[in-house]
Amino acid sequence: MTLRFYDSASASVRNFVPVTPGQARIYYCGATVQGAPHIGHVRSGLVFDQLSRWLTYRGYRVTLVRNVTDIDDKILANSEASFQPDFAGELSQEPWWALAYRFEQVFGRAYAALNIAPPTYEPRATGHIPEMFALIQRLIDRGHAYPALDGSGDVYFDVLSWPAYGELTRQQVADMQEAPDADPRGKRDPRDFALWKGAKDGEPESASWDSPWGRGRPGWHLECSAMAGKYLGETFDIHGGGLDLRFPHHENELAQSRAAGFGFANFWMHNGLVNYQGEKMSKSIGNIITPAQMLEQARPLVIRYYLGQAHYRSVLDYRPTSLEEAKVAVERVETFLGQTLALHREDAQVPQAFAEAMDDDLNIPKALAVLHERVKAGNGLLAADQEPAQEAAEVYAMVKVLGLLELMNLGGHGAGASGSAQEEKALASIMDSLLLMRDQARQAKDWAKADQIRDALAEAGITVRDSASGSSWSLLD
């Protein structure tokens, strides 16, 4: 078994050779918690959750770090316009840190709803100011950074001092636009970007820290380099994030970490974005879809399946019918698993073809084709009154490693899952007792009574299926 991933830096698929055998250390850029997430954010979380689960299945000890950018210009601006109840319950301007934490929790709930496992560590930028000082000082000492020429308190990365600048996105410095993150008068070159941002008039006192270069706050790119280094070491395996972060964010992370003398990431993995009917989702167009809106339309199972079914590098194009199609596909799998409960085994292995697809740059579409093919074969056996022992075990293993299992309602057997949790529980409980009564009748060879129960259930739209491992039931479509 050899895992292969597409590395954006070299633009090629390469064998995955970890820095330390048996370990996989991954950093991916998390949210700037300025507002509620849209599904593009959640897709990124889902992709790296799928990757992490697969590496774990393949025996790697995974350390996954996802940062929270809890201070930046937009957070400060949004907090000025946000009013929330204060200590006394009166509406007052929400402090930036309160707004950041409020939206961090909204992100957390969206991830949790879709069974995106929490990362190993989730560092916040504001908790790592000393690490950022150390990195900035190191860059200054090595001749790759300098305090602003205009005394603003900014510190910039000196792009022209680093000949490899542009290597991640294969651009020439001469072709690049200026970095629009500060007054260019303080810079040696307009493309230099801020590592540290001097405090400005009108900003809250709590939004800046004393530093050797004056009061200020961290630049966005620097945070990620400092936190990745702290939690994963100077050289680690995979750096990920959405495709829109490649430039300037990831290019700058790479430049400042390498210029500081660190190896940084061996692989760069970028997930594709989510479009809305062929158009890029954006606040200005007003076509943003949020996880909360999706959760009004479909179960978490359906949303996770939908967002996770495409290849991670492709664009996912959301259309109003998308969730309906995903629902039909994933509930077919759920119904099959619900009908074969007694055949699931915790130690079951995924089929070879599924594993090969996942090893090959996380080819989920190909892996899902194997999943659906096994479900179809299993349903064929059920229809012929045979026990799909191998199919059920394999489907169970695949669904588990895809992170779908915990979102399935195997007691409610899929088709019944549109009811409330309370209704489903009541139905499952009634069905348990009815099937027990029917089993007892069959054991007592009271066929008339057993058939009576079966017929009554059929009238209620419920089919009962018997196999060597016991009886199961499902709602008729």
Using CB under 5 A, list all residues that contact Zn ion: 29, 224
Give the Cα separation of 246 and 258 in Å (integer). Answer: 16
**Shortest distance (Å) from residue 161 CB to Zn ion:** 22
Comparing C-alpha atoms, which of 192, 182, 116 is closest to residue 153? 182
Residue 67, CB half-sphere, CA atoms under 13 Å: how many?
28
Q: Name the residue nearer to Zn ion (CB basis): 125 or 207.
A: 125
Q: Name the residue nearer to Zn ion (CB basis): 29 or 159.
A: 29
Element (H, E) at 362: none
**Shortest distance (Å) from residue 437 CB to Zn ion:** 59
Q: Name the residue nearer to Zn ion (CB basis): 226 or 326.
A: 226
Q: Name the residue nearer to Zn ion (CB basis): 29 or 402.
A: 29
**Shortest distance (Å) from residue 46 CB to Zn ion:** 18
Q: Name the residue nearer to Zn ion (CB basis): 29 or 145.
A: 29
Helix (H), strand (E), coil (C) string for 32-87: ECCCCCCHHHHHHHHHHHHHHHHHHHCCCEEEEEECEECCCHHHHHHHHCCEEECC
Q: Name the residue nearer to Zn ion (CB basis): 254 or 337.
A: 254
**Shortest distance (Å) from residue 29 CB to Zn ion:** 3
**Shortest distance (Å) from residue 312 CB to Zn ion:** 18
**Shortest distance (Å) from residue 27 CB to Zn ion:** 8
Q: Name the residue nearer to Zn ion (CB basis): 122 or 439.
A: 122
Which residues neighbour 396 within 8 Å (Cβ) at sequence distance 6 or greater? Answer: 337, 343, 344, 345, 348, 405
Comparing C-alpha atoms, which of 98, 106, 253, 231 is closest to residue 167? 253
The beta strand positions in 148-255, using DSSP E, are: 155-157, 193-198, 216-218, 235-242
Residue 458, CB half-sphere, CA atoms under 13 Å: how many?
8
Q: Which amino acid is at 191?
A: R
Q: Name the residue nearer to Zn ion (CB basis): 29 or 364.
A: 29
Q: Name the residue nearer to Zn ion (CB basis): 29 or 357.
A: 29
Q: Name the residue nearer to Zn ion (CB basis): 100 or 401.
A: 100
Comparing C-alpha atoms, which of 19, 26, 79 is closest to residue 51? 26
Element (H, E) at 287: none
- Structure token digits, residue 201: 């008039």
**Shortest distance (Å) from residue 364 CB to Zn ion:** 24
How far is residue 265 from each of residues 26, 307, 335, 457, measured CA to CA in Å?
9, 26, 42, 59
**Shortest distance (Å) from residue 253 CB to Zn ion:** 6
Give the Cα separation of 258 and 219 in Å (integer). Answer: 17
Element (H, E) at 454: helix 447-459
**Shortest distance (Å) from residue 125 CB to Zn ion:** 10
**Shortest distance (Å) from residue 165 CB to Zn ion:** 17
- Structure token digits, residue 205: 């006192």
**Shortest distance (Å) from residue 246 CB to Zn ion:** 11
> What's the sign of the alpha-carbon dihedral 275, 277, 280, 281?
negative
Cβ-closest position to Zn ion: 224
Element (H, E) at 390: helix 389-401
Q: Name the residue nearer to Zn ion (CB basis): 147 or 219.
A: 219
Cβ atoms 132, 221 nearer than 8 A? no
